[in-house]
Amino acid sequence: MNSDNPTQQISLNLVAICIFGMTISSLVAPLINIPSTLPIAIVAAIIVGATVDNFFLKSTVATLVLDAIAGTKAEYRQRIVHHEAGHFLVAYLLGIPITGYTLSAWESFRQGQSAQGGVMFAPPQANISAQLLQHYCTVWMAGIAAEKLVYDRSQGGGEDRQKLRGVLFVAGKQQQEIVKQENLATLQAKNLIQTNWEAYQALVTAMLDRTPVADCCTRIDRLKSPDLN
């Protein structure tokens, strides 16, 4: 279990709560004329469902439910789009082709993604240059960097960190090197977003309107730093 994945942690917490609830309900049910097997069956079904979702469905159901609840809050929706706009902007500025984006768990689910929202781009190939690998690392950390710039701290980004660390581990990097490269990528992403702040803000607005990828890129081109032209 990775502490960076709050949805999986919530699913496991739910299982623990249900086990406790099953114990209490089996003791209380006879006192209120409810068959003791009924609450046990209900709680058992919840436990089985949560366990299957957590270990076999990668917490997809829990993510959809939690996202649907949180999605009613404007601040949550704003945080998601600011996070994803960071990925989008940095990927585009570094020349990594973007194929699409989503801003909710339901949109991601319909497009075969696992996160609460995401920017889709071509994954890195097996044998890529060190420079291109660093570009991908910068893109993966750009959502966290964007959240920190806007909200002073990040709440999302667990999957981004896992992806970066996994790729660097496969590339043969040691733990100390991985931490160093992760920090460098975060700093590079932060600098790119700050340097192109006007383009970033315009991109946030465009993504909230579900503007097509090509039109989002056009807005970035119009407003990006002259140093990148």
One domain, residues 149 and 186: yes
Residue 215 inside a domain? The answer is yes
For all residues of the chain together, what is the average pLDDT?
78
Q: What is the distance of C-alpha 166 from the center of its chain?
A: 16
Mean pLDDT over 33-57 rounds to: 55
Distances (CA, A) of 154 to 38, 52, 58, 216: 42, 29, 22, 24
One domain, residues 193 and 93: yes
Q: Which amino acid is at 86?
A: G
One domain, residues 89 and 64: no
Distance in angstroms (rounded) separating the CA atoms of residues 84 and 116: 10
One domain, residues 163 and 222: yes
Of 52 and 47, which is predicted with more confidence? Answer: 47
Residue 23 inside a domain? The answer is yes
Residue 128 inside a domain? The answer is yes
Name the domain boundary from 15, 43, 69.
69
One domain, residues 120 and 139: yes
Name the domain boundary from 69, 90, 109.
69
One domain, residues 38 and 116: no
Distance in angstroms (rounded) separating the CA atoms of residues 67 and 156: 13
One domain, residues 148 and 180: yes
Residue 1 inside a domain? The answer is no
Residue 141 inside a domain? The answer is yes
Split at pLDDT 50, 70, 90, the class of 127 is confident
CATH of the domain at 101: 1.20.58.760
Q: What is the DSSP string of 11-31?
A: HHHHHHHHHHHHHHHHHHGGG
One domain, residues 128 and 17: no
pLDDT in tens, 57-111: 444 444 444 444 444 467 888 998 999 999 999 999 999 999 999 888 766 666 6
One domain, residues 132 and 210: yes
- The answer, as to whether pTM is greater than 0.75, is no
One domain, residues 182 and 140: yes
Residue 191 inside a domain? The answer is yes
Name the domain boundary from 20, 39, 69.
69
What total number of domains does the chain contain?
2
One domain, residues 107 and 137: yes
One domain, residues 139 and 164: yes
pLDDT in tens, 132-181: 999 999 999 999 999 999 999 988 888 899 999 999 998 889 999 999 99
Domain of 60 in residue numbering reads as 6-69
Picking from 69, 60, 106, 103, the residue whose alpha carbon sits closest to that of residue 210 is 103
Residue 109 inside a domain? The answer is yes
